[in-house]
Amino acid sequence: MTLLRPRGLKPGDAVAVLCASSPVSSQERLESGLRAMESVGLKPDVFGTARDGGSQYEYLAGTDSERAADLTRALADPKYAAVFLACGGYGAQRTLELMEWERIDRRAPKVVVGYSDVTAVLEAVAVKLGWVSLFGPMVACGGFWQGADEYDFRELMKLLYAPAEVRQLSFPGARALVSGVAEGVTLGGTASLLAASFGTDTSLPARGAILLLEDVDELLFRLDRIFTQIRRASYLDGVRGIILGTFTECGEPEDVERLLAERFGDLGVPVLAGVNIGHNCEMQTYPVGVRARLDADAGTLVFLDQVLADDGRHVGSIVPNGTGVAAAVVLDSTLGATQPL
């Protein structure tokens, strides 16, 4: 399976903003996130699901068919360079049931960004379309809606506007649960969503992968159940390395740490824990579908291929079967281009 890399973005690009899951919690936050996008030259087009307050069920942004139609249209319409999910919550699995994948040109990849419940969408984009995507902040959530100066937003924009400069992710506060170095293709996301996809036509096993797992608001026994399901489902067969992100509101930190070590420490692969990817942290953006090298002892993930194309060409990487520091990017309103700080 070859994954195509979307091109990075440029000022003036039209981008779609929609919900594939729950309604946004605040339209004010959505508007703030849209202003942040406009401040770096993007032109967001807000779809109906991002405005729906829960017309069918309070936990769903519109009907399943409306969410699927919005996502299908955004992925299929060539005028959009990217699709930004406004929030997560619940409902992406329902949305995927009604997707019209045949309407989408697989040869024309575009950036898709989101996390949490959107994990299911990113996994489906890899399986159904063969595209690299980004497990990253969402328009009406976290450090995105709070403005263009926020860490989450700036890290995402670095990758989108200057992909050639983003060659690795560094996690100075992380810790090696299992030492070692491994190479593989970056996969994963929110653990409960990956488990929920098992047995469907959009599940992508972790063979040959550097696998990210994170979650939020799961009692410890439920987290244990999710991890055990992941193990027993043979999902981890052939995994090369594991990155463990945030597990906030999942119990006492020392209990979570013990569970992580017990469930993933016996696999014979490097395991890096405590990375700032996921819920309730200053979040780095994690690409899904890129060859990378994990060094658990150094606390780094080095990309072996450029994450996004910067010139419109799409470089593929095979999903089995130079290190640098990312430059901060701002929009130069005079030149209409991005410049490194």
Residue 223: both structure tokens together: 């987290």
Find the catalytic residue in 66, 123, 150, 214: 214
DSSP class per residue in 248-266: ETSS-HHHHHHHHHHHHTT
Instruction: Return the DSSP state at 276.
Output: S
Find the catalytic residue in 116, 133, 192, 317: 116
- Among 244, 238, 138, 262, smallest CA distance to 188 is for 244
DSSP class per residue in 72-98: HHHHH-TTEEEEEE---SS-HHHHHHT
- Among 134, 185, 174, smallest CA distance to 291 is for 185
Tracing tokens 């992406």 back to the chain, one arrives at 92
CA dihedral angle for residue 49, residue 135, residue 16, residue 91, rounded to 10 degrees: -20
> Distance of CA 306 to CAs 168, 283, 311, 316, 330, Å?
10, 20, 12, 10, 20
Residue 142: both structure tokens together: 């976290």
Find the catalytic residue in 66, 150, 218, 279: 279
Residue 32 sits at the vertex; the CA angle it makes with 27 and 33, to the nearest 5 degrees, is 95
> Distance of CA 34 to CAs 10, 14, 148, 338, 340, Å?
16, 12, 10, 19, 23
- Asked if 236 contacts 204 with a C-beta cutoff of 8 angstroms, the reply is no
Chain centroid, CA 259 distance in Å: 24
- Asked if 60 contacts 94 with a C-beta cutoff of 8 angstroms, the reply is yes
Residue 39: active-site member: no
Residue 314: active-site member: no
- Enzyme catalytic residues: 116, 214, 279
